[in-house]
Amino acid sequence: MRHIAIIGSGPAGYYAAEAALKHWGDEVAVDIFDQLPVPYGLIRSGVAPDHQSIKAVSRRYEATAQSANVRFIGNVSVGSDVSIAEMQSLYDAVVLATGAPHDRPLALPGEHLGNVFGSAAFVGWYNGHPQFADLKPDLSGETAVVIGMGNVALDVARILAKTRTEFDGSDIVAHALDTLDCSRIHKVVILGRRGPHQIMMTPKELGELGHLARACPRVDPGDLPDLGDDALLEPGLRKSVTHLRGFAAIPESHRADMAIELEFDFFASPVALQGDKQVTGVTVERTRVEAGRAVPTGETYTIPASLVVSCIGYQTSPIPGVPFDERAGRFANDEGRILPGLYCVGWARRGPSGTIGTNRPDGFGVIDKIVEDIGAGGGKQGRAGFDRLAAERKLDVVTFADWKLIEEAETKAAREGAPREKFVDVASMIAARRG
Ligand code: NAP
């Protein structure tokens, strides 16, 4: 029997568990830990609430979770309730699937002004992550600036633009829905330090901006490269740029009917956030793109802004004693190997890139490494040892069966047409587990 601990119950963690089951069948016991009492990581608290079809992948993780050889151990924080060294002494392999839960800092003057948020916090707020449920963003001003031109920036801009009705069928949490319903924002500026050919937005997600009930995208045709140059792009990016060209061609008469404008501001690198206590503007420097890089031109201007959400990427949370690559913002590793018996997978291994599906080959890849390292071996205490430790420390472990009770309570509490109303604090989750 091999005993494997996976720290983190998001996509990378569950794909790794699935791979372990595929390889060893009944000769493996996998414990999946999460610091929250609820599983699925980014599927629950990162994927946009109006993208329910993406969230449906959790059914696949549930199938893995239901295996007798896999346990969910929620409400246990590895690093504080149990140390990594203790986990390594108990399990033949410990896999860090902890994702990248922290915002990369902007590192700009004014970053700590009021109503400036990183996307981890803002997305966590509208998705009901307990850490960010009390964020209370002020949406009473007119202009929001979203920094970055990736899919997270798109999520944030779209969520700020949607009407209450457009959230029908989503699992956006009530506190966010009510706050957004009272929003006075009528302009969202999406800021990119490079040009249309360098966006990180994927076509399906970008195309959604063209179909909103009260919001309309604006692209300055003068920012678009020559049409012929699009032929050099890889197909996905070419499709995205085609959407931008479509947005640039939207007639002003159509815009006039729209309450919210989503303005793409290309070649604009933020250099400072203005304001006294609360943010009032973002100063940006014009850039030009040379050999794919943003080159500052020295020309600056300030965009008035009452809300700023920085969507410039994420970094992994370091764990004491685990080698960390500060520059890359993830664990230092060689194809998933960190130290003997210690591995990482998903965003904790490669940084915050790719789709949910990208984590599947990653999960299978890390199990291949573990097979190479301990294929015939094993023999540590695993589950039994952890259960003894948890009892000694009186850890209030949440099992998968407990999660199903929490899920049932969330489903029962759902507003009409919504799949669930999430609990947004740990105490309520625990209480629901106890019925
Ligand atoms: P991302 O795709 O890496 O985009 C980050 C953006 O921030 C880029 O436009 C980048 O510009 C910009 N940026 C970085 N540092 C900056 C700085 N200091 N100042 C100004 N701009 C800066 O990251 P993400 O949007 O956080 O997404 C993370 C991953 O999750 C991606 O793989 C994404 O596709 C995925 N995701 C997918 C979905 C979906 O499929 N529906 C939804 C959300 C997220 P440069 O390119 O110039 O560096």
What's the whole-number average pLDDT of the chain?
96
Query: What is the secondary structure of 369-410 as a DSSP string?
Result: HHHHHHTT-----THHHHHHHHHHTT---B-HHHHHHHHHHH
Say which amino acid occupies 75. N
Q: Taking the domains of the chain in order of start, what are their residue ranges?
A: 2-101+316-433, 103-314
Tell me: pLDDT of 85 over 90. yes
pLDDT in tens, 38-47: 999 999 999 9
For ligand 1, atom 21, the nearest C-alpha belongs to 148
- CB within 8 Å of 408: residues ≥ 6 apart: none
**What's the pLDDT band for 191 if we cut at 50, 70, 90?**
very high
Tell me: pLDDT of 186 over 90. yes
For ligand 1, atom 36, the nearest C-alpha belongs to 151
Mean pLDDT of 89-106: 96
Residue 378's pLDDT is 73
Tell me: pLDDT of 151 over 80. yes
Mean pLDDT of 214-243: 97
Residue 216's pLDDT is 97
**Cβ of 353 less than 6 Å from ligand 1:** yes
CATH superfamily entry for domain 103-314: FAD/NAD(P)-binding domain (3.50.50.60)
For ligand 1, atom 4, the nearest C-alpha belongs to 150
CA 357 to ligand 1 centroid distance, Å: 17
CA 354 to ligand 1 centroid distance, Å: 10
For ligand 1, atom 1, the nearest C-alpha belongs to 150
CA 2 to ligand 1 centroid distance, Å: 38
CA 19 to ligand 1 centroid distance, Å: 28
Closest to 53 (Cα-Cα) out of 179, 205, 163, 156: 205
Percent of the chain with pLDDT over 70: 100
Residue 435's pLDDT is 74
**What's the pLDDT band for 64 if we cut at 50, 70, 90?**
very high
pLDDT in tens, 383-418: 999 999 999 999 999 999 999 999 999 999 999 999
**Cβ of 118 less than 6 Å from ligand 1:** no
Residue 351's pLDDT is 95
Distance CA 12, CA 40 (A): 9
For ligand 1, atom 2, the nearest C-alpha belongs to 150
**Cβ of 313 less than 6 Å from ligand 1:** yes
CA 37 to ligand 1 centroid distance, Å: 29
* Strand ranges (E), 333-380: 337-339, 342-344
**Cβ of 355 less than 6 Å from ligand 1:** yes
* Strand ranges (E), 90-150: 93-96, 102-103, 116-118, 143-147
Question: What ligand 1 atom has the least distance to the C-alpha of 107?
Answer: 18
Residue 434's pLDDT is 80
**Cβ of 158 less than 6 Å from ligand 1:** no
**What's the pLDDT band for 374 if we cut at 50, 70, 90?**
confident
Q: Which pTM does this prediction carry?
A: 0.97
How many Cα neighbours within 13 Å face the side chain of 353?
Answer: 8
**Cβ of 285 less than 6 Å from ligand 1:** no
Backbone angles phi, psi at 18, to 5 degrees: -60, -40
Percent of the chain with pLDDT over 90: 96
Lookup result for tokens 């390292």: 373
**What's the pLDDT band for 136 if we cut at 50, 70, 90?**
very high
CA 206 to ligand 1 centroid distance, Å: 13
Helix %, strand %, coil % of the chain (to 5)? 35, 25, 40
**Cβ of 133 less than 6 Å from ligand 1:** no
Tell me: pLDDT of 120 over 80. yes
The CATH number of the structural domain formed by 2-101+316-433 is: 3.40.50.720
Distance CA 89, CA 268 (A): 51
Mean pLDDT of 245-267: 95
**What's the pLDDT band for 320 if we cut at 50, 70, 90?**
confident
CA 238 to ligand 1 centroid distance, Å: 17
Q: Which of 149, 265, 284 to mutate to test the pocket of ligand 1 (most atoms within 8 A of CB)?
A: 149
Tell me: pLDDT of 285 over 90. yes
Q: What is the three-class DSSP state of 434?
A: coil
Residue 293's pLDDT is 96
Residue 353's pLDDT is 93
